[in-house]
Amino acid sequence: MTTPAPFKPPHRILLGPGPSNAAPSVLNALAQPLVGHLDPSFIRMMEEIKQMLRAVFQTKNQMTFPVSGTGSAGMEFCIVNLIEPGDEVIIAINGVFGTRMADVAERCGARVTRVEAPWGQVISPAQIQDALLKTPDAKLVGVVHAETSTGVENPVAEIGRLVKSSGALFLIDTVTSLGGCPVKIDEWSVDAAYSGTQKCLSCPPGLSPVTLSERAMEAARNRKTRVQSWYLDVNLLAGYWGSERVYHHTAPISMNYALHAALREVLEEGLENRWRRHRQNHLALKSGLAAIKIPLASAEGFQLWQLNAVKVPDGVDEAAIRTKLLSDFNIEVGAGLGSLKGKIWRVGLMGESSSRENVRLFLSALCQCLNESGAQVNAAAALAAA
């Protein structure tokens, strides 16, 4: 065969559900020379990653580290370590990723009680309270904090108080929330959480930051059955990420370099400042869209700052506009999933991609695409409102 030319990716403005654009420092970190995964310099960096992750997760949990794999690997890590066959589990479902959490739990042999809400609406604490009363032996309650498929933030702080009083373990998905809005693991009584590197942390996909409380670690240590995944068994991984440094697997060296750089970016900006930036850019986009009569599809009062579910106007070809944004303006946005397919655009303002400039670029490009499609909107009004 003829050897292909070197791959040169186009420069995109990544405003979809992930990945987001990476900071220059993160891209530079990926190009640094390799060392061994047990090299003393790499081990020192591992400790710094753990310390920074604790700060970003707002936790003192010792077992806080990045799993080698994407956010879905983090989901599996938490569930396979905490759930055994026959365990009663309550999973909140109001989008794709709650559905996935339930699927993984069932694959572990759990008996899953599904607490559901329409896509775009929130899971209420009252629903969880009712499920706990009906399932008094529940071992774990799982909730997606930031549902990427719908742009909804579930009220995990309130739910956490209910779960704590029940004695069950509390698991949350922070794939889209970590680094983009408040995530307070200890304050919210969260026992297990997982995230992803490619969203509000603005790092390439490939690692899943996780954190386990001491209660969660006790559950993992005192299992009656072995963890069904050797690769994700925290009892083995603790030997590598703990003080012993026992070989488990070859960690993705360069991805850990990148995560180290990304976490430094987060902490140098400051968590409060970073959350404020995401909120302000979300409000600017929302105002600009409102000026041209385009609302968000997610429930008012629970709309994510970093992932905006934008309603497609009646009569507009959703896919055609999305394709034109990419081909003519190099702007990537996401399509709706499941019951929202064809009904929304998922517009991410995450991490490095969350800027006022990107809000203006998107609004200007969207208005031009809509006008060319025959749906007349006032671009000047949208930009002025933003």
Note the pTM of the prediction, 2 decimals.
0.97
Domains of the chain: 24-268 (3.40.640.10), 271-385 (3.90.1150.10)
What's the confidence (pLDDT) of residue 332? Answer: 98
Which whole-number Å values give the CA distances from 180 to 53, 97, 208, 224, 334, in the listed order? 14, 18, 16, 38, 18
What's the confidence (pLDDT) of residue 243? Answer: 78
Q: How far apart are CA 61 and CA 186, in angstroms?
A: 8
What's the confidence (pLDDT) of residue 245? Answer: 81
What's the confidence (pLDDT) of residue 244? Answer: 80
pLDDT truncated to tens, each residue of the chain (386 aa)? 999 999 999 999 999 999 999 999 999 999 999 999 999 999 999 999 999 999 999 999 999 999 999 999 999 999 999 999 999 999 999 999 999 999 999 999 999 999 999 999 999 999 999 999 999 999 999 999 999 999 999 999 999 999 999 999 999 999 999 999 999 999 999 999 999 999 999 999 999 999 999 999 999 999 999 999 999 999 999 988 887 888 889 999 999 999 999 999 999 999 999 999 999 999 999 999 999 999 999 999 999 999 999 999 999 999 999 999 999 999 999 999 999 999 999 999 999 999 999 999 999 999 999 999 999 999 999 999 99
**What sign for the dihedral angle of Cα 340, 341, 344, 346?**
positive
Which whole-number Å values give the CA distances from 352 to 14, 269, 327, in the listed order? 9, 11, 22
Question: Residues with Cβ < 8 Å from 224, sequence gap 6 or more?
Answer: 84
310 in helix, strand or coil? strand
Q: How far apart are CA 84 and CA 17, in angstroms?
A: 32
What's the confidence (pLDDT) of residue 210? Answer: 98
Which whole-number Å values give the CA distances from 248 to 41, 80, 157, 195, 381, in the listed order? 18, 17, 35, 22, 57
Question: Residues with Cβ < 8 Å from 238, sequence gap 6 or more?
Answer: 63
What's the confidence (pLDDT) of residue 242? Answer: 82
